[in-house]
Structure 1
Amino acid sequence: MARGRGSAALCLALGALLAVCLLVGAADAATHRVDWSFNADSWSRGKNFRAGDVLEFNYDPTLHNVVAVDAGDYYGCRSSGTAYGSGSDRITLGSGINYFICSLNGHCGMGMKMAVTAN
């Protein structure tokens, strides 16, 4: 029986350690306020992003939206991804390249799109 109790204590300790690691990682995440406008891709140039960072898109929802898309939809200005339209959207970056477009009124084709690489 003592062996079983030790295993449970070890599992609890490992669970607590995992929780602390996740909290520390979340505390390291940065929030970046995005200038969501035409030529938005220039906003991200020269900035460093990490997986878990949050992009805060602020815009007039009667004029724009934000759609998280894949590479094909980004380059083709297609909006089959997750659409946001509150005007104050917070999107957490995943590891790798994250693509965003505005799908309204041909805005993507006019340069309202952005690719952000998170390490």
Structure 2
Amino acid sequence: MASRLVLLLAAAAVAVACLPAPASAVAWMVGDGGGWRAKFNQTGWAEGKTFRVGDTLMFMYARDAHTVVEVGREDFAACNLQANLLGAWNSGNDVVQLDRPGKRWFFCSVPGHCDNGMKLVVNVLGDDGVPAPAPAPESGWWF
């Protein structure tokens, strides 16, 4: 009887060891050491990075110099400062939770900053590692 229990426990241990490790959430420092800054988009910072639900974006910047706003695709493309905001931050030490799959669009709302490249788009993968389906095109802009 004891040998059956040992075998069963050993089989269970092997089965658990074969399960994929749960993904850990990543806290992404936007812009790495340079932070959220003018002409940010010229760095291609998001390229090659995989963002997942549960990760966070940390926007670090001089509080009086910049902001972070989240907008929709069209407002992002146009750098629309009168956009319908999905989120707004201005502490200089902002943490944005990536809580759903799909594309997320951010820019600095200080006049001229977005037009000069202070903008970021990230594609957030769901728990299954698959991006959310793309929404129907509204005006032909795709990012």
TM range (shorter): 0.7 to 0.9
Displacement over 2 Å in runs of 4+: 38-41
Instruction: Give the match for residue 29 of structure 2.
Output: 33
Partner of 1:73, secondary structure, is helix
More helix by percentage: 1
Question: How far off its partner does 1:46 sit?
Answer: 1.1
Q: Tell me whether 1:117 sits opposite 2:113 in the alignment.
A: no
C-alpha distance in 1 between matches for 2:38 and 2:46: 13
Using structure 1 for the length normalisation, give the TM-score. Answer: 0.73
Instruction: Give the match for residue 71 of structure 1.
Output: 73
Unaligned 5+ runs, structure 2: 1-21, 126-143
Instruction: Give the match for residue 85 of structure 1.
Output: 90
Q: Which protein is bigger by CA-based radius of gyration?
A: 2
C-alpha distance in 1 between matches for 2:38 and 2:121: 13
Question: How far off its partner does 1:38 sit?
Answer: 2.8
Question: How far off its partner does 1:40 sit?
Answer: 2.7
When the two structures are aligned, how many residues end up with a matched partner? Answer: 95
Matches within 5 A, 1:7-26: none
Question: How far off its partner does 1:80 sit?
Answer: 2.6
Partner of 1:109, secondary structure, is coil
Unaligned 5+ runs, structure 1: 1-24
User: After superposition, what is the alpha-carbon deviation per residue over 1:26-73, rounded to whole angstroms, capped at 9, x for unaligned?
Assistant: x72110001212343311111111012100000011110000111011
C-alpha distance in 2 between matches for 1:111 and 1:117: 18
Partner of 1:74, secondary structure, is helix
Partner of 2:52, secondary structure, is coil
Which one of 103, 108, 116 corresponds to residue 109 of structure 2? 103
C-alpha distance in 2 between matches for 1:115 and 1:57: 13
Using structure 2 for the length normalisation, give the TM-score. Answer: 0.61
Over the aligned positions, Cα root-mean-square deviation in angstroms equals 1.8
